[in-house]
Structure 1
Amino acid sequence: MAFSNEQLERYSRHIILKEVGVKGQKKLLNARVLIIGAGGLGAPAALYLAAAGVGTIGIVDADEVDLSNLQRQVIHATSNIGEPKVESAKETMEDINPDVTVNTYQEFVDSTNIAELIADYDFVIDGVDNFPTKFLINDACVMAKKPFVHAGIIRFKGQLMTYVPGEGPCYRCVFKTMPPKDAVPTCKQAGVIGAMAGVIGCLEALEAIKYILGIGNLLTGKLLTYDALAGDFHTIKLPPADPNCAICGEHPTITELIDYEQPECADAAHGVSLKVGE
């Protein structure tokens, strides 16, 4: 694969990096990344993956753009209100970089379609805003041996971690079970500073890029948290993969994908301090 003069100019700032170079840029152009959610987290991730020249990007979202999205979902514009988010995102991504193929899936992710959605992709980005889907993404990726990055944001805080098969705990190892319903407020209920979505969504894109290129240290076995008001990033070392984990353990009890529901809020203190939504 020979680069055109236009591509050499477009990716020149990547190519001069010894960690990337021509070989690395070719890896990016041949890579396939799926983004689940075209909202606050998925929007900046999609923008930077497209700009970086990730060759095939899938984006999944059933919703349409509304006015309240525009404070943080920077891939959409006022003129896109009422359009499917996946189509709005595709238009912006292709305008940024015509090298990129954008596959759109205007549908809800559930147990009947997630395995097929992730099957043809090298890396998955979790950009969703609810715990049932986060647990489903984890379970599907573990079963399919697909690496993925989880993230969440709320108010002025965010977090992310990366799962790579065989290299650290999965999301379920860390969080075990989802918090009771209404124990953790959503961004719609509690609010979120718009730029937080940009910070954490871009970090998700970086995890995907580092994985594709095989460079640096991924957030495997670590949870990165960011408190914007305190101006503090903190890396928490996570325990090793749990041999008793219901999905990735030595004797998994979850053997098929199901659609989860959050339990009623009978125990609001049940390990939810690190669990945040989008």
Structure 2
Amino acid sequence: MALTPDRLERFARHIVLPEIGGAGQVALAAAHVVVVGCGGIGSPALQYLAAAGIGRLTLIDDDAVEASNLQRQTIFRETDLGRGKADAAADWVRHFDLAIAVHARSLRVDRSNAADLVAGATVVLDGCDNFATRLAVSDACVAAGVPLTSAALGRFQGQVGNFAGHLPGQACYRCWVGDAFDAEDCDTCAADGVLGAMAGIVGSLGAMQAIRVALTGQAALGDPQWGQLQLYEGLVPSLRTIRVPKDRDCAACGTPAG
């Protein structure tokens, strides 16, 4: 794949970075990122993925835009109220860059459809709001051999990490949270609150980590940092990293007994 003159101009600030370069920009153009959740995390994440020149985006969300979303989900406008988030987000991408192939899926991810939704992706960026969906996505990624960027947000805290449980010795998201969270209920922004700018920080960190995956083997920035969970505390602020070890007994990526 060769970049056309207009794409070379658009991404000139990327291309002059030694850590990305022309080969890296071509890799981004060839990448397919599946974004699960177009809300507080997915909204800023997909903006920076689109701005980075990701060639194909699949946006998944079964929710509709509400007035309370506008405090942090900055791709939406008052005229989008009542619209499906996936469709409204896809329209934002189309207005931003006609060269991006974008597909909206207005549905809820669960164990019955996760495998089909992640199939063929370069990386899946999950920013959804419940553990049942997160684990369904993670398990499907492990089974399909697709890397996962997981991003989560609550109040003034955020966490982002890349997982590759399909690779030898690498943890999956289930290794991190275990089996106790296969449930629909969890804390919500409506109940606990969230600072709008925190969504932008965590979504941007998620986009950065997904870009690292897309550049793997093509540019110096392509170090996925598998299993390194970035924990951001907004009140201090501070950022620290912890290593998530592979759980040999993990139901998704562990080593079968015998």
- CA deviation digits over 1:134-160, x for unaligned, max 9? 111111111111100111111111112
Look up the match of 1:228.
234
Report how far residue 121 of structure 1 moved.
Answer: 1.2
Length, aligned pairs only: 251
1:192-231 matches, cutoff 5 A: 192-214=194-216, 215-231=221-237
Q: What is the aligned partner in structure 2 of residue 247 from structure 1?
A: 252
Q: How far apart, CA to CA, are the structure 2 residues paired with 1:76 and 1:99? A: 21
Could you tell me whether the CA contact under 8 Å between 2:11 and 2:52 is conserved in 1? Answer: yes
Equivalent residue letter for 1:233:
L
SS at match of 2:121: coil
Deviation at 1:22, TM superposition (A): 1.5
Counterpart for residue 178 of structure 2: 176
- CA 2–249 in structure 1, closer or farther in 2 if over 3 Å, else same: closer
RMSD over aligned Cα, in angstroms? 1.8
CA–CA distance in structure 2, aligned partners of residues 106 and 183 of structure 1: 21
Q: 1:180 to 1:137 in 2, by over 3 A?
A: closer
Distance 2:179 2:224 in 1: 24
The yes-or-no answer on 1:138 pairing with 2:176 is no
Aligned-partner SS, 2:231: strand
Aligned to 1:12: 12
Structure 1 residue runs of 4 or more that deviate by more than 4 Å after TM superposition? 179-184
Could you report, residue by residue, the CA deviation over 1:11-57 in whole angstroms, capped at 9, with x for unpaired residues? 11011111211111111111100001110111111111111110000
Q: Kindly tell me: are residues 117 and 23 of structure 1, through their superposed partners in 2, closer, same or farther at Cα, counting changes over 3 Å?
A: same
Share of identical aligned residues, percent?
39
1:155 aligned partner, one-letter code? R
SS in 1 for 2:150: strand
Note closer, same or farther for the CA distance 1:92–1:222 as it changes in structure 2 (3 Å cut).
same
- Partner residue in 1 for 2:244: 238
Q: Partners in 2 of 1:2 and 1:216 — Cα distance?
A: 20
Q: Secondary structure at the match of 2:146?
A: coil
Q: Residues 115-126 of structure 1: matches in 2 within 5 Å?
A: 115-126=115-126
1:25 aligns with 2:30: no
Gaps of 5+ in 1: 253-278
TM score, norm. by length of structure 2: 0.92
Contact 1:58 1:103 in 2 (8 A): yes
Is contact 1:32-1:54 (8 Å) kept?
Answer: yes
Contact 1:161–1:222 (CA<8 Å) still a contact in 2?
yes
In 1, distance between residues paired with 2:146 and 2:95?
Answer: 29
| Gaps in structure 2 of 5+ consecutive residues | none
Matching of residue 190 in structure 1 with residue 192 in structure 2: yes
Q: Does residue 128 in structure 1 map to residue 133 in structure 2?
A: no
In structure 2, distance between residues paired with 1:59 and 1:216: 23
Superposed displacement of residue 181, structure 1:
7.0
Residues in 2 aligned to 1:86 and 1:151: alpha-carbon distance in whole angstroms: 18
Residues 34 and 58 of structure 2 are in contact (CA less than 8 Å); yes or no, is this contact kept in structure 1?
Answer: yes
The residue matched to 1:83 in structure 2 has which SS? Answer: coil
Query: Following the alignment from structure 1 to structure 2, what is the Cα–Cα distance between the partners of residues 6 and 221?
Result: 37
- TM-score normalized with structure 1 length: 0.85
- Whether contact under 8 Å (1:132, 1:178) holds in the other structure is no
**Matches of 2:30 and 2:106, distance apart in 1:** 24
Aligned match of 1:260:
none
Counterparts of 1:180 and 1:2 in 2: how far apart (Å)? 44
Residue 57 of structure 2: SS of its match in structure 1? strand
1:221 to partner: Cα distance: 2.3
* Contact 1:158/1:227 (<8 A) preserved: yes
For the 8 Å contact 2:131–2:184, the answer to whether it is kept is no
Per the TM alignment, residue 180 of structure 1 is displaced from its structure 2 partner at its CA by: 9.1
Any conservation in 2 of the 1:31–1:212 contact (CA below 8 Å)? yes
Letter in 2 for 1:187: C
**Contact 1:131–1:178 (Cα < 8 Å) also in 2:** no
**Quick one: distance in 2 between partners of 1:182 and 1:89?**
24
